[in-house]
Amino acid sequence: MINWQFTLHPDHTINLDTNDRTLARLLEEKEPTSRICMACGSCGGTCTAAQFEPVSFRHILLMVRRGETESVRSELTKCMYCGKCTLVCPRGVNTRHILALLRTMLIN
């Protein structure tokens, strides 16, 4: 067999009909600005923790919207809650409050 230096990865299809999206609904009720995030990446560009760990607010919010709560739980432990992401958001999303809410809902 010839080795072409690539491998096939399993399909990562997300079924939004079966995922539990109650966390996203609860978050939108408690912090309405979570709806207006446009995933521009400004938060990730200034993130202090991203210099040391691969973490991004927009990825966390995307996983919440998809209903992937276990992935969100592991990502929240990487955040330093410095608040730089809140300062640079062009839409005024209260990212620090969203992260704190997620932490209390999932970890504490």
Range of the domain at 97: 22-106
Cα–Cα distance measured from residue 97 to residue 108, given in angstroms and rounded to the nearest whole number:
15
Q: Judge whether 58 lies within some domain.
A: yes
Q: Read off the pLDDT of each residue in 48-65 and give the average, rounded to a whole number.
A: 91
DSSP-H helix ranges across 38-106 = 42-46, 57-66, 69-76, 84-88, 95-106
Confidence category of residue 107, pLDDT binned at 50, 70, 90: confident
Q: Which amino acid is at 60?
A: I
Q: Judge whether 12 lies within some domain.
A: no
Q: How many folded domains does the chain comprise? A: 1
Q: Judge whether 17 lies within some domain.
A: no
How confident is the model at residue 1, as a pLDDT? 62
Q: Judge whether 9 lies within some domain.
A: no
How confident is the model at residue 71, as a pLDDT? 87
Asked if 100 and 81 count as a contact pair (C-beta separation under 8 A), the reply is yes
